[in-house]
Structures are given as C-alpha cells and as structure tokens.
Amino acid sequence: MNHQIQSIAELDRIIHEPGRLMIITLLYSVDQADFLYLQYETGMNKGTLSSHISRLEQAEYIHVEKTFRGKVPQTLLRLTRMGRKSFERYRKNLREAL
C-alpha cells in the first residue's frame, strides 16, 4: 500500500472530525480554556460543542473540570497527556499523507 494512502488510513477518526479538530487545536496551544472561550472561537452552539467535548472526554483526550468563578459556574477544559500525544501523531500522519 502506498505510504501516503496508509497515512490517511491511520488518521485518528475522533480528532479528524472538523469540530473536534478545532477544539483539540485550540486546547493544544493553551494550558486550559473555558467553555465560553471555546464556544466563541469555534462558533459552535452550546449543544454541538457539548457533544464534541463529551466525545473527546470519553476518548480520554481532554479533561473537563466543572468549577465556579465566584457564584458563576465555569467549565474548564485541558488536553490530557494522551490527547496531546494523539494530536501530535494525527499531525504527523496528516503531513505524511499530504
């Protein structure tokens, strides 16, 4: 099998979905981000963003922490070590495919 084609076949399907790719890319560049920041940057509605976050959390790519800033609820998200390594592998495979 052609090496480029094999690289495409090896792309992480969880990350490859455009909405989740935006979330992972944003979280890769920061220590953590809150839900509202991700919603603003991605342009997703709350339901869609929540759905993608749930999928990434199930895959153990992100850690979600529900907290409060004063009396206001806040959801903080960060990449896990596995999420960071998976994204780096995804980027490597994508570069090889292209």
Establish if 14 belongs to a structural domain: no
pLDDT for the residue numbered 1: 62
Query: What are the CA-CA distances from residue 12 to residues 39, 42, 71, 86 (Å)?
Result: 23, 20, 39, 8
Q: What is the tally of structural domains in the chain?
A: 1
- Spatial separation of the C-alpha atoms in residues 98 and 85, rounded to whole Å: 20
Please give the model's pTM, rounded to 2 decimal places. Answer: 0.91
Q: Give the span between the Cα atoms of 13 and 77, in whole angstroms.
A: 21
Q: Does residue 94 fall inside a structural domain?
A: no
Q: How would you write the pLDDT of the chain (98 residues) with one tens digit per residue? A: 677 788 788 899 999 999 999 999 999 999 999 999 999 999 999 999 999 999 999 999 999 999 999 999 999 999 999 999 999 999 999 998 88
Q: Which CATH number belongs to the domain containing residue 35 in this structure? A: 1.10.10.10
